[in-house]
Amino acid sequence: MRVLITGGAGFIGSHFVRSALSGSYAGLELANVTVLDALTYSGNRDNLRPVEADPRLSFIEADITDRALVDDVMPGHDAVVHFAAESHVDRSILGATAFVSTNVLGTQVLLEAAGRHGVARFLHVSTDEVYGSIEKGSWAEDQPLAPRSPYAASKASSDLMALASFRTHGFDVVVTRCSNNYGPYQFPEKVIPLFVTNLLDGGTVPLYGDGLNVRDWLHVDDHCAGIALALRAGRAGEVYHIGGGTELTNRELTEKLLAACGATWKSVVPVDDRKGHDRRYSLDISKIGTELGFEPAVTLDEGLADTVAWYRNNRDWWEPLKRRAEPLG
């Protein structure tokens, strides 16, 4: 089996690649993996260093919007797992063009090439942010999309293009939507690695607004395990939610990170709230549990402790990133 993994040098994609090549996923134990990644600011070849010597791994540095190149790479692959995306909300507020180009156009380029060359399955990785905000309860997979940031709108658009390929052409597409991810190798602009690396350096951390926005936290290992299940056994044309089942306000998350890093609230700097900041996200994950047997395995306390320890022990990975291009926030 040959699998093309877009964005495979990024945070979540590289975790999937490392896990797949280590034999963690049923059906992919002997798979050959092609990583296609443009190595933008958040893509990093070092994320693949633990498996770079594996003869089953091939790496191609390229943009998914490059039609000719994608058409050259696609033949011979049995499946595509599509992680590649511009994904930071704050950056999308500052400028949305790159998000539309990569997330919408890039996805369509991949879908068309995969269809032309007979790829058996296309798994499109998306986000809970496409639904907007929910005050109570949890979203089911048939919830109408109501994105409220340029990033979320671009992901919602890519979801619809993927699902349209199934409905129009009968192309075997599966869409997964996840809650907030965390874990090792996450670029230090996202909230957990930003807070952890700042606090380990004795710095301050920003807290948006009143800090009461709620997010569900999902360890990247659980997310990728869910993707592997959907890739192997998900029904074509279906959407599956992958969540961690642990909701926290941003203040509660901040408290946990302060404690883990040995810091106090003196390190927290209140900042103006993000434009259009969604109040709460919550996914109903019963469908993937019932159909595919998914259940989160990493508790939040365990996952945060391991994540903080990883950043504490891997300064050589994140310090150059922060020196080269100071993350937003």
Active site residues: 128-129, 151
Among positive and negative, which fits the CA dihedral 229, 179, 103, 176? Answer: positive
Is there a contact between 80 and 34 (Cβ–Cβ < 8 Å)? no
How far is Cα of residue 92 from the mean position of the Cα atoms in its chain?
A: 16
- The letter for the amino acid at 1 is M
Per residue, the 3-state secondary structure of the chain, as one string, reads CEEEEECCCCHHHHHHHHHHHCCCCCCCCCCEEEEEECCCCCCCHHHHHHHCCCCCEEEEECCCCCHHHHHHHCCCCCEEEECCCCCCHHHHHHCCHHHHHHHHHHHHHHHHHHHHCCCCEEEEEEEHHHHCCCCCCCECCCCCCCCCCHHHHHHHHHHHHHHHHHHHHCCCEEEEEECEEECCCCCCCCHHHHHHHHHHCCCCEEEECCCCCEEEEEEHHHHHHHHHHHHHHCCCCCEEEECCCCEEEHHHHHHHHHHHHCCCHHHEEEECCCCCCCCECCECCHHHHHHHCCCCCCCHHHHHHHHHHHHHHCHHHHHHHHHHCCCCC
Rounded distance between C-alpha atoms, residue 109 and residue 137, angstroms: 36
Torsion of CA 42, 44, 47, 49, to 10 degrees: 180
